[in-house]
Structure 1
Amino acid sequence: MFKPLIFYIGLRYTRAKRRTQFISFVTLASVLGIALSVTALITVLSVMNGFVGKISERMLSMTSHATITGRSGQLENWQALEQQLKNYPHVQGTAPFISGQVMINADRRVNGTMISGILPDVEPNVSEIADKMTSGKLSNLVAGEYGIILGEEQANYLGVMVGDKVTIISPQVNSTPAGVVPRMRRFTVVGTFKVGMYEYDRNMALIHMDDAAKLFRLENSVSAMRIKMDDLLNAPQITAALAKTFIEDYQVSDWTMAHDNFFQAIKMEKKVMSIILLLMVAVSAFNIVSTLIMVVTDKRSDIAILKTQGLTSASVMGIFMVLGTVIGLFGTILGVICGVLLAINAPDLVSSIEALFHVKFLNAQIYYISELPSELMWTDVVATAGMAFLLSILATIYPAWQAAKINPAEVLRYE
C-alpha cells in the first residue's frame, strides 16, 4: 500500500528498537503527560460548570427571576402593581412577600434566620419551594394560626419537628411598663423543606404573609413583588424594560444582579484554573521537544543517508513534525477519553470514596452544596483538545528544524 515517504518514516520512528528503549520510554512519558494534563483540565472545567449550574439551579428554586420594590424599601399598593404586571409581556407569575431578619429560639437554642412571609396559593408561581417540602405543605400556612416552615438543617439544629413550638424574636421592640423589650411571638412548626443548599436550609423560614405583616407591623404594604419570566436568560432585558416603565415609582432588579458578585467570583476562578491547567498541558507538550531532540541525535546517520539519496531539508523537517504530532495526537485522544469518562463519573466516584473512607470532601457550610457536581460541556472538551494538539505541533518545530540542518558530509565522515 502506498504511503507518502515522510509519513511512513515519521510513523516508523515511533516504534523503538532494542537499543532505543530509553527514547521509547521518554516518548511514552510525553504521551502520558499530555493525557494527564488534558484529563485534569476537562475534569476541573466540568466540575466548575457543574458547581455553577447546581448553585444557580438551587438559588433560583428559592428566588425569583426579578424583584420590584418601592424606593422607600417597602412596596405600597402592591395589588395595583400586581394587576399591571399580569398584563405585561413575558411575565408568567407574580407573588408579594414580606421579609426580615429574626432570631428563632427553641429549647435554649437560638438561630438567626431570614423570615419570608408568603401567600401559599401564589408562591408556586415564582418559586419551586412547594416541590422542596420534606414534611407538611405550603397550604399548612394559614393566616392567623402562626405556623412556620423551617429549612431541614435549621429544624435539626433547633431540635424541632412538625407540631413543636418555636419563639420568633423580632429586632423591633415593644414599649412596656418594664421598659423596652424585643417583640416576640410563638409559632408552630407546620413543615420543613430541603433545597439542598446550606444557606437556605439553615437560615431561612417561611410564614404566612399576614402573620409577617403583624410581626413587622406593616399595614397595606409588602417588602417586594417577585416576578417569574417566560425565559430565565432574557430576565435582564425584560427587567431593564420594566425599570423604564416604573422608573419613577419602583426599583427593579433581576436574579443576576442579586448574585452578581458570587457568579463573577466563580467565573474568575474558572478562568484562573483554566490558565493554570493549560500551563500544565504546555509543559507536557514541550516534553516532546526533548523527546524529538533525542530521536534526532539517535537518527543522525539515517538523516544523512536520506539526504544523500535526495531527501530535501523540508522533507526531513516534515518527518520529525509527523513524529511529534503523532505523540501529541495520541496523548490528546487518550486525555479526552479519560477526561470525559472521569467528568461523567466524578460525582459517583467521589461519593464512593467518601463512603469507603468515611470522609467528607465538600462541607456544605463552606461550598453551599455537599455533593460534587459535574457538567460536561463539549465546547470545553473541543477547546482543550484543540489547544493541547496545537501546543504539541508547535513543540515539534525546533527539533525538526535542527534535524533539517544536519550536514550529511559531516555526519558520514565518521561512519
Structure 2
Amino acid sequence: MSEAAVKRPAGAGPFSAFERMVAWRYLRSRRKDTVISAISLISFLGIMLGVATLIIVMAVMNGFRAELLTRILGVNGHVIVQPLDRAFDDYVPVAGRIEGVPGVRYAIPLVEGQVLATGRMGPGSGALVRGVSDEDMMKLELVSSNVRQGSLAGFAASEGIAIGKRMADNLGLALGDGLQLVAPEGDVTPFGTTPRQKTYPIVAIFEVGMSEYDASIIYLPLAEAQMFFNSEGVVQSIEVFVDNPDAVDELRTPIEVAAQRQILITDWRQRNQTFFSALQVERNVMFMILTLIVLVAALNIISGLIMLVKDKGRDIAILRTMGATSSSVMRIFMMTGAAIGVLGTLAGVVLGIVVCLNVESIRQFFSWLSGTTLFNPELYFLSTLPAKMDVSETVSVVLMAMILSFLATLFPAWRAAKLDPVEALRYE
C-alpha cells in the first residue's frame, strides 16, 4: 500500500475510506482476538441495556406521574374555594359566577364528611362522603365514564350512593346492597351527641383506576348529604375545574372577583405538593443512578480499545511507516470505539421503545410466571403500569450515551497515535 493510499484525500469528509476500512477490520471478530471481541461485546451490551433501562424507567415514572395527575385532577377540583366567614348558603349563584370566568370549565358545590362505612364483610372502613348534585355528578367524567355496574342516571332521585369497586370488594357488597354510613357529628340528645347512621342502597359501582379513590370515596346526592351532615341549604366548598391546571395562578384573582365575598383559594399543587415533589426528586435521582450504567459500559470501551491498541502495535507501526499520519491513526481507533457506542445506543433505543409499548403485558407475564403481584395497586395507587415516553428526554439520553462513548475513545486513540513505529518494530 503506497503513501498516497493512506493519506486522506481532500473533501473526503471526517473519515476517509481507508480509515473506515481499517476500523471495520478491527471491529470484526478474529480467533486470536477473542478477549478483545468479548470486551467489545460486553461494552455493546452494557450501553444497550443502560440506554434501554434509562428510557424505560423515565417513561414509567413519567407515565406514573401523568396517570396520577389525571386521576387526582379528575376526581378533585383544580382550585378549591372555601368561605372565610360562613358556609356557602348562596352557593348556586357563586358557582354560576365562577363558571363564567374565562378558563373555568365548571364549578361544583360540594359537601364532604368522614364516615365509617360497614358492609357484609369485615369491621368496616373509613370513607370520604362527597355530596354532589345530579348534574355535577355527570361532569366528573373520570367517575361517570368508568361506572362498572349500575348507572348514575337519576342519581339524585335514587337516594342511593355510588362507591368504588375496591370498596365494594373489601366490604363484600354488590349492586343493590345496603351500605351503612356512620358519622360522628350526629343528633343532639339530652344524653349528648349521638353518631348519625343511615343505610343507603348502592346504585352504581365505579372504578377510576386509582386504588385510594376506589377504596375510600362515596358519592351521595347533594340534598341527601346535606341532611346527613346537618348542613341543610349550605355547602362547605366549591371545587373549580379549569382548562389548564398549570395556569391556576392566573385564575386566582378573577375567581376572587367573581365570588364577590371573602374566600380562601387552594389549588391542586398546594394540596399535593409533598407528593409530587417526592416523585420529582425520585425521578432525578433514578436518572443519575442509571446513568452510571452507561458510564460503566463506556469504561469497558476504554479497556477494550487499550487492549486493541496494545495488540495492534505492529499494525500501527507499519501503517505509520507507509505514510499514515498520527491523526489518521487516532481517527481509526476513535471510529472503532465510537461504533460500539453508537450501535449500542441505537439498539438500546429500539429495546426501550419496544418494552415501553408493551410494559403492561410484560408485567402481567412476569406476574404470572412468578405467581406474585409485581405492581401492587395498594402500594402504587394505580391498577396498571403506565409508560409515557418523552421525546426530548429520550433524545437527551441518546446524546448523553453517545457523548460518553466518544469521550471514552479519546485516550486509547491518543495512545495509538503517539505510538513510536521504531519501538514497535524493533523486535519484529
> Normalised by the shorter chain, which TM-score bucket?
over 0.9
Q: Is the 8 A contact 1:140 1:190 kept in 2?
A: no
Q: What amino acid sits opposite 1:169 in the alignment?
A: V
Per mean C-alpha deviation after superposition, the further-off stretch among 64-73 and 389-398 is: 64-73
CA distance in 2, matches of 1:365, 1:297: 57
Describe how 1:207-222 pairs up with structure 2 within 5 A: 207-222=220-235
Task: Give the direction of change, closer, same or farther, for the CA distance of 1:175–1:59 in structure 2 (3 Å limit).
Answer: same
CA RMSD of aligned residues (A): 2.2
Q: What amino acid sits opposite 2:179 in the alignment?
A: V
From 111, 131, 134, the equivalent of 1:120 is 134
CA distance in 2, matches of 1:50, 1:73: 41
What do residues 86-142 of structure 1 show as CA deviations (whole Å, max 9, x unaligned)? 321122222111001111123463110000000011233354321121222224433
Q: Is the 8 A contact 1:70 1:250 kept in 2?
A: yes
CA distance in 1, matches of 2:251, 2:371: 48
From 57, 60, 80, the equivalent of 2:93 is 80
Q: Is the 8 A contact 1:64 1:127 kept in 2?
A: no
SS of 1:64's partner is coil
Per mean C-alpha deviation after superposition, the further-off stretch among 285-294 and 337-346 is: 337-346
Task: Give the direction of change, closer, same or farther, for the CA distance of 1:56–1:86 in structure 2 (3 Å limit).
Answer: closer
Q: Partner of 1:318 in structure 2? A: 331
The Cα shift of 1:240 comes to 5.5
Does structure 1 residue 110 correspond to structure 2 residue 124? yes
Task: Give the direction of change, closer, same or farther, for the CA distance of 1:168–1:264 in structure 2 (3 Å limit).
Answer: same
Q: Partner of 2:421 in structure 1? A: 408
Does structure 1 residue 168 correspond to structure 2 residue 181? yes
SS of 2:145's partner is helix
CA distance in 2, matches of 1:380, 1:178: 65
Per mean C-alpha deviation after superposition, the further-off stretch among 198-207 and 375-384 is: 375-384
Task: Give the direction of change, closer, same or farther, for the CA distance of 1:196–1:327 in structure 2 (3 Å limit).
Answer: same
CA distance in 2, matches of 1:61, 1:370: 16
CA distance in 2, matches of 1:169, 1:72: 28
Q: What amino acid sits opposite 2:44 in the alignment?
A: V
Task: Give the TM-score normalised by structure 1.
Answer: 0.93
Q: Is the 8 A contact 1:163 1:190 kept in 2?
A: yes
Q: Partner of 1:142 in structure 2? A: 156
The Cα shift of 1:6 comes to 2.5
Q: Is the 8 A contact 1:63 1:127 kept in 2?
A: no
Q: Partner of 1:346 in structure 2? A: 359
Q: What amino acid sits opposite 2:23 in the alignment?
A: G
The answer for unaligned runs of 5 or more in structure 2 is: 6-11
CA distance in 1, matches of 2:139, 2:176: 27
From 356, 366, 373, the equivalent of 2:379 is 366
Equivalenced residue count is 414
Q: Is the 8 A contact 2:337 2:405 kept in 1?
A: yes
CA distance in 1, matches of 2:43, 2:85: 64
CA distance in 1, matches of 2:88, 2:138: 21
Task: Give the direction of change, closer, same or farther, for the CA distance of 1:226–1:280 in structure 2 (3 Å limit).
Answer: same
What do residues 69-95 of structure 1 show as CA deviations (whole Å, max 9, x unaligned)? 112584342122123123211222221
Describe how 1:291-330 pairs up with structure 2 within 5 A: 291-330=304-343
Q: What amino acid sits opposite 1:221 in the alignment?
A: V
Per mean C-alpha deviation after superposition, the further-off stretch among 364-373 and 57-66 is: 57-66
Per mean C-alpha deviation after superposition, the further-off stretch among 167-176 and 96-105 is: 167-176
Task: Give the direction of change, closer, same or farther, for the CA distance of 1:51–1:73 in structure 2 (3 Å limit).
Answer: farther
The answer for unaligned runs of 5 or more in structure 1 is: none
Q: Is the 8 A contact 1:94 1:125 kept in 2?
A: no
From 388, 395, 413, the equivalent of 1:382 is 395
Q: What is the percentage of aligned positions where both structures have the same residue?
A: 33
CA distance in 2, matches of 1:171, 1:232: 35
Q: Is the 8 A contact 2:186 2:229 kept in 1?
A: no
Describe how 1:281-296 pairs up with structure 2 within 5 A: 281-296=294-309
Per mean C-alpha deviation after superposition, the further-off stretch among 177-186 and 269-278 is: 177-186
Q: Is the 8 A contact 2:97 2:258 kept in 1?
A: no
Per mean C-alpha deviation after superposition, the further-off stretch among 90-99 and 222-231 is: 222-231
Does structure 1 residue 203 correspond to structure 2 residue 203? no
Task: Give the TM-score normalised by structure 2.
Answer: 0.90
SS of 2:384's partner is coil
Q: Partner of 1:99 in structure 2? A: 112
